Amino acid sequence: MKKTKLTGLALVALVGAASAATVQDLGTTLTPLGGEKAGNSTHGIPDWNAEQVARPGWSYGKYRKDYFKYKDEKPVETIDAGNVDKFADNLTPGQVALIKQTKGYKMDIYPSHRYCSAPDFVVENTKKNPGVAKIGADGWSLAEAVVPGVPFPLPKNGTEAMYNSKMRYRGVGVDYKKVTTAVSPRKGSNEWIKAGSEQTIFFPWGIKGNTNLSTLPPVEYHTYFAYSQPTALAGQALDVTFFLNKPSSETFYYFPGQRRVRRMPAYAYDSPQIGFENQYTLDEPFVFNGTLDRFDWKLAGKKEIYVPYSSFGAYNFAAKFEDVAKDDFIAENARRYELHRVWVVEATVKSGSRHSAPKRTFYMDEDSWNLLAADDYDAQGKLWKHREGYLIPVYETGTCDVSAFSQYNLVEGRYVFDLQSAGAGKDISWIVDGKSNPRMKSNFYSADNLRSISER
């Protein structure tokens, strides 16, 4: 497979070209959500055509990959420690480091497909957003948009691009009947951290139709989860609300030993999540999570990168967990990579703010606005963590989404695997109509309700 190289000048030129696009280009030279329709045939990237990739017969409870149009494709290339330098121009620094330092780690490369789209009402709302959607006077909050829809299909800066990812249509909610938040063993040990829980996410702005965001509560999403294992976490539960205009989330945490709910005012940003040995912070789920206020966000341009695409293996609820999550990395056959154009967004911690990873680079799919990869750097400027998000087509919503993701601590040699259904016995469910679901109501995510359902 041929590889390509984009210089810094090329990246700047691509930003300029995107800025020159107009709303009339949406659906013509651009995809309905703002990507470039034209591919790059020289490098094997096809034109976008929003083809139907779900074969007939799928219903919830059936393995999604079995109904995927390209399920029988074979890799066209494998990248490993022996040839990684040849492909480095199309990999992130974190990918290169992971391959070089992790024995046995490989990336199987498949033919590229560009099928990600959205329902008609999301497309129509996206067309309305240029000139309507706006960032708040503080420079980082989202003040207005027509939802559900992409707020800034013609992004002018990194903040706008990040909100496109945050506000991508995922239905009204996501339900995890059973999920294992896992941290791999320390070097020299075989002891995993495996925290089992149920979890629900609710997007108040995701209801079908068209609504001005300013008429709704300024909430990105609510989430509830309750731990069932290990013993140290069993019975603990929490509600978290992430806002679009407040610099911190609101967290209520139930501790069964005390039989009380506590408000956790500092449980956000790079705060370590309880129970995971400082391997997992609050702003790392979904490749990035939480508010944008602590960073300056630069839209550096586009680049062609080998990224996870159609990676159904991370969602194989019928598999054994240990067949998907190996001691040092996610199994090769559970990961699938394709060459895609991605937006490159560089985040630098603001003057006067602090963060354990003061510099981060994010790689965002141009067709779906999902974050597919990220590299974090420590205070000394050294590469520290690499994350990758496993994109799949979601048959319920008609979109593509990243839920499952892994994060590799390149310094300590451990990794996190979360928001997946591998080995769970039950699939993740994307909810498009939550009218009869009590968890698709904002009043479910309150301290009083948390106490009530936790003490039953």
User: How do residues 109-166 score in pLDDT, each as one tens digit?
Assistant: 999 999 999 999 999 999 999 999 999 999 999 999 999 999 999 999 999 999 999 9
Q: Check the CA dihedral 5-9-15-18 and report its sign.
A: negative
Which residue would you say has higher pLDDT here, 409 or 3?
Answer: 409
Task: Please give the pLDDT value at position 120.
Answer: 98
- Domains in the chain: boundaries: 8-454
Reported as a pLDDT band with limits 50, 70 and 90, residue 11 is low
User: How do residues 289-323 score in pLDDT, each as one tens digit?
Assistant: 999 999 999 999 999 999 999 999 999 999 999 99
Task: Please give the pLDDT value at position 267.
Answer: 87
- Does the N-terminal peptide bond of residue 256 adopt cis geometry, omega within 30 degrees of 0? no
- How many Cβ atoms are within 10 Å of 121's Cβ, its own excluded? 14
Task: Please give the pLDDT value at position 20.
Answer: 75
User: How do residues 323-335 score in pLDDT, each as one tens digit?
Assistant: 999 999 999 999 9
Q: In angstroms, what CA-CA distances link 416 with 279, 291, 318, 366?
A: 7, 21, 20, 26
Task: Indicate the helix (H) or strand (E) that contains 237.
Answer: strand 237-243
Task: Please give the pLDDT value at position 2.
Answer: 41
Closest CA to 175 of 419, 456, 450, 452: 419
With a cut of 70, say whether residue 14 has pLDDT above it.
Answer: no
**What residues are paired with 306 via a beta bridge?**
339
Inter-residue contact 166 to 235 (CB < 8 Å): no
The mean pLDDT of 190-205, rounded to a whole number, is: 97
Task: Please give the pLDDT value at position 222.
Answer: 98
User: How do residues 35-74 score in pLDDT, each as one tens digit?
Assistant: 999 999 999 999 999 899 999 999 999 999 999 999 999 9
With a cut of 50, say whether residue 439 has pLDDT above it.
Answer: yes
Any idea which residue has 């703002």 for tokens?
Answer: 34
Please tell me the CATH code under which domain 8-454 is placed. 2.50.20.10
With a cut of 90, say whether residue 455 has pLDDT above it.
Answer: no
With a cut of 80, say whether residue 8 has pLDDT above it.
Answer: no
Task: Please give the pLDDT value at position 385.
Answer: 98
The mean pLDDT of 277-290, rounded to a whole number, is: 97
The DSSP result for 367-405, as a single string, is TT--EEEEEEE-TTS-EEEEEEEEEEEETTTTEEEEEEE
* Average pLDDT taken over every residue of the chain: 95
- Separation CA 360–CA 345 (nearest Å): 8
Task: Please give the pLDDT value at position 32.
Answer: 97
pTM listed for this prediction: 0.95
User: How do residues 369-396 score in pLDDT, each as one tens digit?
Assistant: 999 999 999 999 999 999 999 999 999 9
**What residues are paired with 54 via a beta bridge?**
68
The mean pLDDT of 166-181, rounded to a whole number, is: 97
The mean pLDDT of 234-245, rounded to a whole number, is: 96
Reported as a pLDDT band with limits 50, 70 and 90, residue 19 is low
Q: Considering the chain, what percentage of its residues have pLDDT values greater than 90?
A: 92
Reported as a pLDDT band with limits 50, 70 and 90, residue 266 is confident
The backbone region for 391, taken as left when phi is positive above 0, alpha when psi lies in -120 to 50, beta otherwise, is beta
